Amino acid sequence: MKISLAQINYHIGNFERNISKIIDGIKKGEMDGSDIVVFSELAVSGYPPRDFLEFSDFVNQCQDAVNTIAKKCTKVAAIVGLPTYNNNAKGKPLYNSAVFLYNGKILSITNKTLLPNYDIFDEYRYFEPNNVFKVINHKGKKIALTICEDLWNVQDNPLYSVNPMDELIDQNPDFMINIAASPYNYHQTKIRKEVLRKNAQKYDLPLFYVNHVGAQTELLFDGGSLVINSMGETIDELLYFEEDFRTFDLKDVLSHKNVEYTENERIEIADIHDALVMGIRNYFHKLGFTKAILGLSGGIDSALTAALAAEALGSGNVYNVLLPSKYSSDHSISDSIKLCENLNMPYDIIKIEDAVSAFESTLDPFFRGLPSDIAEENIQARSRGVILMALSNKFGYILLNTSNKSEAAVGYGTLYGDMNGGLSVIGDVYKTQAYELSRYINRDKEIIPENIITKAPSAELRPDQKDSDSLPDYDILDEILYQYIENRKGPKEIVKMGFGKPLVDRILKLVNTNEYKRYQTPPMLRISTKAFGMGRRMPIVAKYLG
């Protein structure tokens, strides 16, 4: 028996495109002499469809799509994920299902048992868990088919009271297939492979695993579909951050034949880079946009964002606007111009002094003679925001937000100013990671000017301003933030790690009291285990550590 894995970049709700890609995969399987072509979780709809699932029209179109696909399965079988109706009198209205297609029709339906309801996942909002377990018989082989989370209950801290494979193993399956939508974060690849390896060893069965690839707004799917033999050895692994298709002979996998596969250790910073580039490219292309605009300040964050966007969209499609004020340093302008020249990106220089003066003169009678403070500083940032949004509107560009995670965490940014944008490219990238990414981009030659990387960061909204005036060094700040945000450690635990109590209390208070700002930010491409956005749900009006 031959089994093909189809790792595809789906588009949520784009049924015509998704159907076409799935049918193309079936045709490839036929050409390879495959018996089964395997597609990923909720392939027909794209993942996650979220509240589209509340529309019966959407679910009906999924059903119509799979009926169309089934008609193409005459020479080869296919496993395809989609939402299906729960026709029982009780329970949630839908199942997260996988259909087995052959002889032009749906032969069986397998429903997902374990429905994740944490971080970015909220599947129990829509789906009813499965309670019927049955292997699939095809051409003399028994297949244990599961869906994503169904294999994840083998870790040291199990979240569920049931294991689908514990139910299926009594039916003596010959191998496992798992279809998944497992989003990327920079720890996930290693964890995912270990979970899959444990399953293969525990049940003494080979495993064929298919994951999504591509970006769905802020969620980034890295692919990395793979085949593991019953000893837990990786037989082969599909590409990361790209579509891929490969066919495997079951007898080779069953005989533990390793197809000259050498497992390479993933390089974390390279994966983060590739994930962000894919995220930008997919966000634009799936929305039907081609050109980006951003404010280039001469700092590392906007330089990094520009470089990533140029790789994703093409240098000519990234319009950089330099917006100097009277506080901008000469090198901020010259460094920005050098970056644009290095990447052959278009740019313009628009001085903001006239706009700032107009706002200040308009407001002067109403500021009642109070001394200059953050209000005047923010007028500069908001003047830049007005200019960038005007250009965005006029020419149909998407404005890229350039704030990093460290700044977003502590509120070091101006609402309706430098926090504007249609997409936050590095909003889940800590400042220390921004430096590491910039070095990675410069690994072969200087793209981001060295002076941008080495100079002290500054918002340049007042004379001689430095980030260090308001914040601790970023290596200290980022570690405190990481322990609080990603590891959910409280202030006492963080102090025990060696950080001063006054500093910890101040930083954590800043994180919590600036939730209202993050609530209004554009979607952030997710690369961490706990990103701001859909996976971190905090109250705005709260007192905890505030």
What φ, ψ does residue 56 adopt, rounded to 5°?
A: -60, -30
DSSP string covering 117-149: -STT--GGGTBPPP----PEEETTEEEEEEEGG
Q: Which fold has domain 2-259?
A: Nitrilase/N-carbamoyl-D-aminoacid amidohydrolase (3.60.110)
Q: What is the CA radius of gyration of the chain?
A: 26
Same fold yes or no, 2-259 and 271-467: no
Predicted pLDDT of residue 468: 67
Of 146-160, 259-273, 502-516, 526-540, the poorest mean pLDDT is in 259-273
pLDDT exceeds cutoff 80 at 329: no
- Per-residue pLDDT, averaged over 146-165, amounts to 91
Predicted confidence band of residue 262 (pLDDT cuts 50, 70, 90)? low
- Give the DSSP letter of residue 13: T
Active site residues: 41, 112, 148
Of 27-36, 94-103, 149-158, 425-434, the poorest mean pLDDT is in 149-158
Residues 127-143 have pLDDT tens digits of 999 999 999 999 999 99
d(CA 370, CA 379): 15
d(CA 54, CA 99): 21
Residues 307-318 have pLDDT tens digits of 999 999 999 999
Write down the mean pLDDT value for the chain: 94
Predicted pLDDT of residue 471: 87
Predicted pLDDT of residue 90: 93
* Token couple for 157: 């801290």
Contact partners, residue 120, CB within 8 Å, separation at least 6:
48, 183, 219, 526, 534, 535
Predicted pLDDT of residue 132: 95
- The ranges assigned to domains in the chain are 2-259, 271-467
- Per-residue pLDDT, averaged over 256-263, amounts to 62
In this prediction, what percent of the chain has a pLDDT beyond 90?
A: 90
Residues 70-124 have pLDDT tens digits of 999 999 999 999 999 999 989 999 999 999 999 999 999 999 999 999 999 999 9
Using alpha carbons, select from 527, 10, 539 the residue that is nearest to residue 218.
527
Predicted pLDDT of residue 59: 98
Using alpha carbons, select from 261, 231, 267 the residue that is nearest to residue 248.
261
Residues 455-483 have pLDDT tens digits of 877 655 656 667 666 789 999 999 999 99
d(CA 418, CA 399): 11
Predicted confidence band of residue 255 (pLDDT cuts 50, 70, 90)? confident
Predicted pLDDT of residue 331: 83
Indicate the pairing of strand 347-349 with strand 207-210.
unpaired
pLDDT exceeds cutoff 80 at 497: yes
Integer angstrom CA distances of residue 222 from 215, 279, 440, 478: 9, 10, 19, 25
Determine if residue 142 is left, alpha or beta; phi over 0 gives left, psi from -120 to 50 gives alpha, anything else beta: beta
Of 50-64, 112-126, 248-262, the poorest mean pLDDT is in 248-262
Convert 342-357 to b/e letters by CB count within 10 Å (16 or more is b): bbebebeebebeebbe
Integer angstrom CA distances of residue 349 from 217, 296, 317, 328: 31, 10, 17, 12
Using alpha carbons, select from 51, 153, 44 the residue that is nearest to residue 93.
51
Are 114 and 88 a contacting pair, CB within 8 Å? Answer: no
Q: Which fold has domain 271-467?
A: Rossmann fold (3.40.50)
Using alpha carbons, select from 126, 127, 99, 100 the residue that is nearest to residue 113.
127
Residues 214-239 have pLDDT tens digits of 999 999 999 999 999 999 999 999 99
- Per-residue pLDDT, averaged over 341-357, amounts to 97
Whether residue 48 has a cis bond before it, omega within 30° of 0: yes
Are 543 and 512 a contacting pair, CB within 8 Å? Answer: no
pLDDT exceeds cutoff 60 at 540: yes
Predicted pLDDT of residue 465: 61
Name the one residue in this structure whose structure tokens are 């940014």: 413
Predicted pLDDT of residue 173: 98
- How many CB atoms are located within 10 Å of the residue 537 CB? 8
Predicted confidence band of residue 332 (pLDDT cuts 50, 70, 90)? confident
Predicted pLDDT of residue 158: 84
d(CA 39, CA 37): 7
Predicted pLDDT of residue 231: 93
Residues 58-69 have pLDDT tens digits of 999 999 999 999
